[in-house]
Structure 1
Amino acid sequence: MRKKQAIKMITASLLTIFIILVSINYLSSGTNISNPNTSLRTKQNTPQNEQEAEQNETDSKEEQTENSEKQSLTDDIKDKVENIVDGAVGFFLKKNLDIVAIGDSLTQGVGDTTNNGGYVGILNSRLSTEKQDVNIENLGKRGNRSDQLLKRLDKQEIASSIKDAEIILVTIGANDIMKVVKENISDLEYEQFVKEQVDYKQRLREIADKMLALNPDASIYFIGFYNPFANYFKDIEELGLIVDNWNKTDQSVADEYEQVTFIPTSDLFSSYNEEAVFYKDNFHPNYAGYQLMASRILEYIRPEIEDKSDG
Structure 2
Amino acid sequence: MRKSFLALTGLCLMLAGCDVFSAKPANMAMKPEAAEDPYTKKTIPSDFIESNLNVVAVGDSLTAGVGDADNNGGYVGDVSDLLQLEEEVSSVDVSNFGVRGHKTNDLLKVLGKRDVIEKLREADIILMTIGGNDIMKVTRNHIMDLQLEPYREEQPRFEKRFKKILNTIRSANPDAVIVYTGLYNPFKFMLPELSEIDTIVEEWNQASNRMIMADGNAIFVPTEDLFATRSYGKLLYVDEFHPSETGYSLIADRVYTSLSEQNE
Taking structure 1 as the reference length, the TM-score comes to 0.74
Q: What per-residue deviation string (whole Å, max 9, x for no partner) do you get for residues 150-206 of structure 1? A: 111110000111111121111000000111122333454321111111100011110
Conservation of the 8 A alpha-carbon contact between 2:235 and 2:246: yes
**Cα pair distance change 1:81/1:294, threshold 3 Å:** farther
Matches within 5 A, 1:222-233: 222-233=180-191
SS of corresponding position for 1:295: helix
Give 2:14's aligned residue.
Answer: 17
Matches within 5 A, 1:140-219: 140-219=98-177
Deviation at residue 301 of structure 1 after TM alignment = 1.2
Conservation of the 8 A alpha-carbon contact between 2:44 and 2:259: no
Deviation at residue 105 of structure 1 after TM alignment = 0.5
CA RMSD between the two structures: 3.0
Deviation at residue 89 of structure 1 after TM alignment = 4.2
Deviation at residue 11 of structure 1 after TM alignment = 3.8
Q: Which whole-Å CA distance do the structure 2 matches of 1:290 and 1:89 have between them?
A: 20
Q: Which whole-Å CA distance do the structure 1 matches of 2:58 and 2:44 have between them?
A: 26
Matched, 1:88 2:42: yes
Matched, 1:113 2:110: no
Deviation at residue 275 of structure 1 after TM alignment = 5.8
Q: What per-residue deviation string (whole Å, max 9, x for no partner) do you get for residues 241-262 of structure 1? A: 1111111121121132212221
Taking structure 2 as the reference length, the TM-score comes to 0.86
Letter of the structure 2 residue corresponding to residue 236 of structure 1:
L
Letter of the structure 1 residue corresponding to residue 54 of structure 2:
D
**More displaced 10-residue stretch of structure 1: 233-242 or 283-292:** 233-242
Deviation at residue 268 of structure 1 after TM alignment = 1.2
**Cα pair distance change 1:83/1:7, threshold 3 Å:** closer
Give 1:101's aligned residue.
Answer: 57
SS of corresponding position for 1:236: coil
Deviation at residue 240 of structure 1 after TM alignment = 0.8
Deviation at residue 104 of structure 1 after TM alignment = 0.4
Q: Which whole-Å CA distance do the structure 2 matches of 1:242 and 1:9 have between them?
A: 21
Q: Which whole-Å CA distance do the structure 2 matches of 1:302 and 1:276 have between them?
A: 27
Flag the structure with larger Rg: 1
**More displaced 10-residue stretch of structure 1: 276-285 or 234-243:** 234-243
Letter of the structure 2 residue corresponding to residue 223 of structure 1:
T
Conservation of the 8 A alpha-carbon contact between 1:8 and 1:188: no
Conservation of the 8 A alpha-carbon contact between 1:105 and 1:140: yes
Matches within 5 A, 1:1-311: 3=1, 5-6=2-3, 11-18=8-15, 25=21, 74=30, 77-80=32-35, 87-89=41-43, 92=46, 93-130=49-86, 132-272=90-230, 276-303=234-261
Q: Which whole-Å CA distance do the structure 1 matches of 2:14 and 2:92 have between them?
A: 40
Letter of the structure 2 residue corresponding to residue 112 of structure 1:
D
Deviation at residue 108 of structure 1 after TM alignment = 0.6
Conservation of the 8 A alpha-carbon contact between 2:56 and 2:95: yes
Deviation at residue 291 of structure 1 after TM alignment = 0.5
Q: Which whole-Å CA distance do the structure 2 matches of 1:294 and 1:81 have between them?
A: 15
Conservation of the 8 A alpha-carbon contact between 1:89 and 1:127: no
Q: Which whole-Å CA distance do the structure 1 matches of 2:36 and 2:229 have between them?
A: 14
Deviation at residue 121 of structure 1 after TM alignment = 1.0
Deviation at residue 10 of structure 1 after TM alignment = 5.7
Letter of the structure 1 residue corresponding to residue 42 of structure 2:
A
**More displaced 10-residue stretch of structure 1: 250-259 or 289-298:** 250-259
Q: Which whole-Å CA distance do the structure 2 matches of 1:83 and 1:90 have between them?
A: 18
Q: Which whole-Å CA distance do the structure 2 matches of 1:260 and 1:89 have between them?
A: 19
